[in-house]
Structure 1
Amino acid sequence: MRRRFNTAGPCLPAYHYMIPPLGRLPEAPDLVAQMGYFVVHAPRQTGKTTTLRALAEELTAGGEYAALAFSCEVGRAAGDDYGAAVHGILDRIRIRAETALPAELRPPPWPEASDTGLLAAALAAWAHACPRPLVLFFDEIDALYGASLVSVLSQLRDGFNERPEGFPASVALCGLRDVRDYKAASGGDPNRLGTASPFNIKLKSLRLGDFTAAEVAELYGQHTAETGQEFTPMAVERAVELTAGQPWLVNALANEIVEELAVPPTEPITVDHVEQAKERLILARATHLDSLASKLVESRVRRVVEPVLAGTLTQLDPYDDDLQYACDLGLVAAGLP
């Protein structure tokens, strides 16, 4: 069977290539060992969920932690109804735990508690019952906003000092944004973070970066090792140039060549194939590309992207929040002049 590239879309293929998770988040195990609460942020469709799940599996398999990655996407429809959001998140935790954890590490029945403290009470009960320290990855935390986001972050902050016996030892919030944008999403003024930031216990922010040229070559090399079909060095170089290592583009480009152009496995993949795949992706207007284009209407994105398109870009402060936000969305690449 020909293996497919992971395009990180809504329907993942059964077989896909990937970069080892510890290679993409090398600092995460040390932060977990420090019982750190931290943030992981990355553009959409960069393999974030795949990496987090693989990292959780590795941590659990090591025998020291009970680690689980789960999605908060269910909370999007709840809006400001924080009770519904928390109930939905706890449902997702239980469903994921049934699949990803052995029985002795799964959560006990959730305790009775008010909506304002249910998440904290549930996680405390699980930490007390679990024979190992808990490590939780809240993926798609961006799905929450307003009162729901405030409630979740506040309950995590309130339980922080009880870890590891009485609360998860380590927690990562994973989404598009760094913690500096959480206050805006929760209804506060992002320009006045101060101690009122709703996640001021975070130890560090990690950005799940784009692939390096070596990682693109490694990913495409997995296809060669599996099928015998070579990506020529010039084809790999051109793919890196076109994608700047953006993971969704790297994988989508290769998937277009292997699956849609259907280059025979006996033929090497060349620069011409890469160019054909590029044009096909542009004309197809993949959902991910359209969703990125929709962000161009945001004023903070326009402030960065308009001078890029007009050729009038001046030097921007690398610590500029708007530049970082555009990078996190995957609309611009680091290292722009």
Structure 2
Amino acid sequence: MKKKFNITGACIPNKHYMVEISRKLKSIVNLIEEEEYFIINRPRQYGKTTTMYMLEKFLSKKDEYIVIAISFEGVGDLIFEDEKMFCEEFLQILVDTLFINNPDLANFLEKEMDEVNNFNRLSKVITKFIMKCNKRVILMIDEVDKSSNNQLFLSFLGMLRNKYLLRNMGKDYTFHSVILAGVHDVKSLKVKIRPDSINKYNSPWNIASDFDVDMSFSVEEISTMLDDYIESKGVSLEKDYFSEKLRYYTSGYPFLVSKLCKIIDEKIMPENELKWEKEYMDMAVKQILKESNTNFDSLIKNIENNKDLKELVRKIVLEGNPITYVEDNPIISMGIMYGILKEEKGKVKINNRIYEQRIYNYMSSIIETTTDVSSYNQSSNYIKDNGELDINRILLKFQEFMKHEYSDKREAFLEEDGRLLLLAFISPIINGVGFAFKEVKGGEEKRFDIVITYNKKMYILELKIWRGKEYHKKGLMQLGEYLEQYGLDKGYLLVFDFRKLEGKAGETEEVQVKVGEKTKEIISVYC
């Protein structure tokens, strides 16, 4: 069987190209050896199931452990409606899991099931089971989100918690370690049932240790997956370049890393060739941003379903407001839990550039469908004979559009939606051939940089609101330095100028900026 890049379910070493995660596993095993109970709470498609599978495989090789790995996925809802049924079904799941490799233990539990009708009796059966095993028994439960808003499940966790405490005092026998995996963290379990309760953070799982293992993929880890790919398929590629680019666009989000690789391997690289060209990376990014998948669906759904989270996301991606990371802020915690946000150097950021671009595309699409830009931005009008993008002409047309469509409400509109309107204006022009990534720089100027790639060429466009001559001069120099970083000689500046009398709205100007020994040309358009 040929290997492939996997984006659904657990990754299997002999079926899928995989990242080497031995360091992560070692950190988790350290928790297990210390008899810790913990929860691997990470966003969807973040490698939880694969990690649990690889952990089970690793521990099963050690004679001192018995690993029972189960999942609540697909068990139905009835199990959570009656205590007796829950206890019976839980034991039946254990029996089914143990049957192949440990039939004697499975038979033992099956005989005990008839007498179990409540959590007290279930606790006693677990004690007898652990004593019979005479080994360290690890219980792993995947997909706990299905049950985490159910009081019966919380009571079950409370029973395990009590046994854990008694075990530590030498008064009971129980699982050596219990590992839960799901999106929600332990504090949210209680919140979902009694959100107004004063004890909403008094979780039955407050015995859990912090799970601080970074499950995103580093550049080095991504490189190991490419090694697997190169060895298995015989493909030639610049491993350092693609590893760094994959990390740059995805921040190591496992699903996105694998998805981009899958697109290059299966949709971009010609069938009879075995080499990745550098331009394949940008082509893959463009492809993933166009398509629909469950990951992106969840991203937008989680933003739209939470008004406060949506507003926070808007402030970050459109206004460039620096939001201080506070761990106890429930809106920030929600965004991080869903994988939309992350903490970086004490500030709240969008998790990765792919998500940020997807959010931009979504927001600009709404603007595009509710404003009259179609008569101004026909793509054929802005493509030069040599296939290059005519940014200068685009900005001049946008300037004309603003004058005719928004002259009477320009300031009120632009303060909130001007940046998004420009994105909506540009998007149809470059769609299908190029894409634009946005970089928001915080601070007093609130610079808003757009990096456009079109037909293998790059363009830098900066947006900002006029805030005085000194800030303007400083901004020109910063743009010049930014151009130098990308090895470009020309850049573009769009200035929203709200001054009533001395303002330059409707004007354009060309300036030259010295960056070291080099001269950069900057074309400014005022709206």
Measured against the shorter chain, the TM-score band is 0.7 to 0.9
For each residue in 1:160-219, what CA deviation from the matched residue of structure 2 results, as whole angstroms up to 9, or x when unmatched?
13549721111112111222212213435587456x322122133345521111111111
| Structure 1 residue 238 corresponds to structure 2 residue 238 | no
Worse-matched range after superposition: 103-112 or 267-276: 103-112
The residue aligned with 1:154 is 158
User: What amino acid is the match of 2:256?
Assistant: L
The residue aligned with 1:325 is 334
Say which SS state the counterpart of residue 138 (structure 1) adopts: strand
- Over 3 Å counting, the alpha-carbon distance change for 1:294 and 1:89 in structure 2 is farther
Q: Tell me if the contact between 1:75 and 1:85 (Cα under 8 Å) persists in the aligned partners.
A: no
TM-score if structure 1 supplies the norm length?
0.86
| Structure 1 residue 136 corresponds to structure 2 residue 139 | yes
Q: How do 1:289-308 residues align onto structure 2 when only pairs under 5 Å count? A: 289-296=296-303, 297-299=305-307, 301-308=309-316
Between the two proteins, the alignment pairs up a number of residues equal to 335
Q: Report deviation, 1:2.
A: 3.2
For residues 33 and 250 of structure 1, the distance between their equivalents in structure 2, rounded to whole angstroms, comes to 31
Q: Report deviation, 1:300.
A: 5.2
Q: Tell me if the contact between 1:75 and 1:89 (Cα under 8 Å) persists in the aligned partners.
A: no
The residue aligned with 2:284 is 277
Q: Tell me if the contact between 2:20 and 2:221 (Cα under 8 Å) persists in the aligned partners.
A: no
Q: How do 1:43-54 residues align onto structure 2 when only pairs under 5 Å count? A: 43-54=43-54
Worse-matched range after superposition: 309-318 or 146-155: 309-318
Q: Report deviation, 1:11.
A: 10
Higher relative contact order (CA 8 A, sep 6+): 1
For residues 102 and 9 of structure 2, the distance between their equivalents in structure 1, rounded to whole angstroms, comes to 28
| Structure 1 residue 114 corresponds to structure 2 residue 117 | yes
- Over 3 Å counting, the alpha-carbon distance change for 1:49 and 1:208 in structure 2 is farther
The residue aligned with 2:509 is none
The residue aligned with 1:254 is 261
The residue aligned with 1:2 is 2
Q: Report deviation, 1:240.
A: 1.6
Say which SS state the counterpart of residue 280 (structure 1) adopts: helix
For residues 2 and 80 of structure 1, the distance between their equivalents in structure 2, rounded to whole angstroms, comes to 41
Q: Tell me if the contact between 2:123 and 2:159 (Cα under 8 Å) persists in the aligned partners.
A: yes
Q: Tell me if the contact between 1:40 and 1:206 (Cα under 8 Å) persists in the aligned partners.
A: no
Q: How do 1:74-85 residues align onto structure 2 when only pairs under 5 Å count? A: 74=74, 77-78=77-78, 81-83=81-83, 84-85=85-86
Q: Tell me if the contact between 2:325 and 2:343 (Cα under 8 Å) persists in the aligned partners.
A: no
Say which SS state the counterpart of residue 341 (structure 2) adopts: coil
Q: How do 1:36-47 residues align onto structure 2 when only pairs under 5 Å count? A: 36-47=36-47
| Structure 1 residue 92 corresponds to structure 2 residue 93 | yes
Q: Tell me if the contact between 1:72 and 1:89 (Cα under 8 Å) persists in the aligned partners.
A: no
Q: Tell me if the contact between 1:136 and 1:172 (Cα under 8 Å) persists in the aligned partners.
A: yes
Q: Report deviation, 1:253.
A: 1.1
For each residue in 1:234-282, what CA deviation from the matched residue of structure 2 results, as whole angstroms up to 9, or x when unmatched?
3332222211110011011111221233544743213322222223333
Q: Report deviation, 1:65.
A: 1.0
Q: Report deviation, 1:135.
A: 0.8
Q: How do 1:55-66 residues align onto structure 2 when only pairs under 5 Å count? A: 55-66=55-66
- Over 3 Å counting, the alpha-carbon distance change for 1:167 and 1:11 in structure 2 is closer
Q: Report deviation, 1:18.
A: 2.3
Worse-matched range after superposition: 12-21 or 150-159: 12-21
Q: Which residue, out of 124, 127, 135, partners 2:127?
A: 124
The residue aligned with 1:168 is 175
Say which SS state the counterpart of residue 26 (structure 1) adopts: helix
The residue aligned with 2:31 is 31
Larger-Rg structure: 2
| Larger relative strand fraction | 2
Q: Tell me if the contact between 1:238 and 1:271 (Cα under 8 Å) persists in the aligned partners.
A: no
- Over 3 Å counting, the alpha-carbon distance change for 1:90 and 1:283 in structure 2 is farther
The residue aligned with 2:70 is 70
- Over 3 Å counting, the alpha-carbon distance change for 1:173 and 1:188 in structure 2 is farther
Worse-matched range after superposition: 241-250 or 25-34: 25-34
- Over 3 Å counting, the alpha-carbon distance change for 1:43 and 1:268 in structure 2 is same
User: What amino acid is the match of 2:48?
Assistant: K
For residues 331 and 4 of structure 1, the distance between their equivalents in structure 2, rounded to whole angstroms, comes to 27
User: What amino acid is the match of 1:211?
Assistant: F
For each residue in 1:22-50, what CA deviation from the matched residue of structure 2 results, as whole angstroms up to 9, or x when unmatched?
42243221221121111211111122111
- Over 3 Å counting, the alpha-carbon distance change for 1:156 and 1:5 in structure 2 is same
- Specify every segment of 5 or more residues in structure 1 that has no aligned partner in the other structure, as ranges: none
